[in-house]
Amino acid sequence: MSSSLKLIKKINERAVVFDGAMGTEIYKHDFFVNTSFDALNINAPDVIKEIHSSYIEAGSDIITTNTFAANRSALMKFGLADQTEKINKAAVQLAKECTGDKDVLVAASIGPVASTVSCSKNEAKIVDIVTEQLNALISAEPDLIIFETISNIRDAFSAMSALQQIKQIPEFILSFSVDRNGKTKHGEDIEMLIRTLDKFDICPTALGLNCSSGPEGLIKPTEKLLSLTKLPVIIQPNAGMPKEIDGRMIYMASPEYLATYALKFINIGVKGVGGCCGTGPEHIKEISRMIKKISSAATRSPVKGLKKEVVLKTPVQPEKRSKFASKIVSGNWVTTIEIVPPKGFDLSKTIEKAIFCRNAGIDAVNIPDGPRASCRISPIIAALEIQNKAKIETILHFCCRDRNLIGMQADLLGCAALGINNLLFITGDPPKLGHFPDASAVFDADSIGMVQVQNRLNCGVDLGGDPINEKTRAYIGVGADPNAIDFEREIHRTEEKVKAGAEFIITQPVFDIKPLIHFLKTIKHLKIPVIAGIWPLASYRNAEFMKNEVPGVVVPDEIMRRMAKADTKEAQKAEGIAIAVESIKEIRNIVNGIQVSAPFGNVNTAVEVIKSTS
């Protein structure tokens, strides 16, 4: 086995995609459960290679050997215990033949032993069985070892004990199987499993969760695991169980559904995703298409232009770029309301809403750029019409998803020409979240990179180093997530945004004040104005959607209980407004302003919230 840290190298480059289930695919080839699936490495090698190749074609960065139950105890049921070494070596060789010269790693799989029927409770015997399979796999030189579906402390202990007997420890992953509450079937929680590792002087390359539950059921356990370790985390959920939706039982884990959750896992700090029982190449293909574009954007920041000797001009002072900027710089409280552009081209109602905001004394209107990958009228056109006809400034969200660097620079220059000077740079939702899942996602840069581009334009120079006729006057904003599970990563990215030139922050909607306070204290050294996002919940179902479907938003259980107690639509709306008002009053003295969303386009609700806190 190579001594180079291949897995760590891949993870450091971007989020990685594992393969899906092996047993599910073998079953599709008419091999039934009375067959030793592991023995097919010898008896039907072409079938195993076909499955590996299908996952590689689907976009897997790492494929897993067909050795989950290739230990002496499990093989004994089929009279194959004496072929343990041969079966494991063959499995690694088949996988390596499929990868060839491709940039794909081979992970040698070891399943649980302590829970197998034929194995006694003799701990030494369990360790011996694991060690035998481990030695057989290592001798065939895979790139790493993955201990899968660890469902109790005994299996975690036996895996670590076996590894401790190896002279040269390979890269290895320990992947646990827990329920939606983060507990094994024996009632052991994730923290107990991890504490078992402290007894050894070796450390996994990564930790993971697999099997047991569908993607939705692994969200909370994943958040818990991320809070307990600094090691990379790999998540491989099952295809899931049917879910009751308005009285109907629906199987939710379609390839698109699983891929959407894969993105959620990446957004909260997971470094690798794949699938377990019930998943196949079609699931991995969707995961790969979604993840590789969005995650690779992070490797492109900051953006590097051509190596030219350039002269950067002094940018216009922030307070002179817009009324909104002047008010923030002077230390005054600012209020903004988000209005989503229409799906058609009639902007008359949008203008009416903006006029209502202006008359209510709102400082600016936020204009999202294709939220949730939806197709709407150009936000630049919407911003221009609002500023010209409603006479209120806009904050234009600028998304990195849909245009390459040439097009984005052109649009930034266009904004400067039109006097759209308040810009909020966001990376953007991937197309798979919207109604155009096959649309290409460009992501030439992420929000950090585009802040750097705009900052150069403010200094009179484009990305390529060429001077522009006049400096742009953009007031540069960025987003932030105080509720981020990978909080250190969020702070690091926030610091990078400020370093690149960000001048104000607007947060994700805040329902729990404590994370916001912690975030503000942590970034105090950056000395950057922060505007808190506020979302007046329109109903209990709206609260459910925000809690379960919107990355970066945390709705506390207490808020859910309050919304649930309101038994009519009107009462729920009133409760949502009351919660928003309470939140604003709590944070009034620690932030520079608020951005209030207009739920379902209802600006009256947003204005009511703001007026109630004046």
Is the pLDDT reported for residue 403 higher than 90? no
Q: Does position 432 have pLDDT exceeding 70, yes or no?
A: no
What gap in Å lies between CA 151 and CA 213, rounded to an integer? 13
pLDDT at 139 over 70: yes
Q: Give the mean model confidence (pLDDT) for residues 42-71.
A: 96
* Distance, CA of 478 to chain centre: 18
| 378 vs 370: CA distance, rounded Å | 8
Instruction: Return the higher-pLDDT residue of 410 and 312.
Output: 410
The answer to whether 6-296 and 335-611 have equal CATH topology is yes
- pLDDT value at residue 370: 61
Q: pLDDT at residue 159 above 50?
A: yes
Q: How is residue 589 written in tokens? A: 């003295």
Provide mean pLDDT across the span 580-598: 91
**Per-residue pLDDT at 119:** 52
CB atoms within 10 A of CB 550: 15
More confident residue, 48 or 484: 48
What pLDDT is stored for residue 120 in this prediction? 55
Residue 264 banded pLDDT, cuts 50, 70, 90: confident
pLDDT tens for residues 323-356? Answer: 999 999 999 999 999 988 888 898 999 999 999 9
- Please determine, looking at this structure, whether the domain spanning 335-611 carries the CATH number 3.20.20.220: yes
Measured CA distances, 288 to 8, 14, 282, 310, 518 (Å)? 19, 12, 10, 39, 34
CB distance 18 to 291 below 8 Å: no
CB 208 within 8 Å of CB 175: yes
pLDDT at res. 430: 57
- Cα gap 573→559, rounded to integer Å: 13
Assign domain 6-296 to its CATH architecture.
Answer: Alpha-Beta Barrel (3.20)
Reported as a single tens digit per residue, the pLDDT across 524-577 is: 999 999 999 998 888 888 888 887 766 567 788 888 989 888 889 889 989 889
SS3 content of the chain, % helix, strand, coil (to 5): 45, 15, 40
The DSSP bridge partners found for residue 391 are: none
49 exposure class (CB count in 10 Å sphere: 0-12, 13-18, 19+): middle
- Residue 121: what pLDDT? 67
Distance CA 505, CA 533 (A): 10
In the chain, where the domains are located: 6-296, 335-611
Q: What is the mean pLDDT of the chain?
A: 86
For 444-458, how does the pLDDT look when each residue is reduced to its tens digit (9 = 90+)?
677 888 898 999 999
For residue 115, how many C-alpha atoms fall within 13 Å in the half-sphere facing its CB? 16
Residue 56 has pLDDT above 90, yes or no: yes
User: Average pLDDT, stretch 461-477?
Assistant: 88
- Using alpha carbons only, give the angle 289, 16, 478 rounded to the nearest 5 degrees: 75
pLDDT at 31: 83
CA distance 132 to 481: 47
Query: Cα separation of 591 and 601, whole Å?
Result: 25
Q: For position 565, what pLDDT does the model report? A: 87
Predicted local confidence at residue 5, as pLDDT: 78
pLDDT band at 58 (very low <50, low <70, confident <90, very high): very high
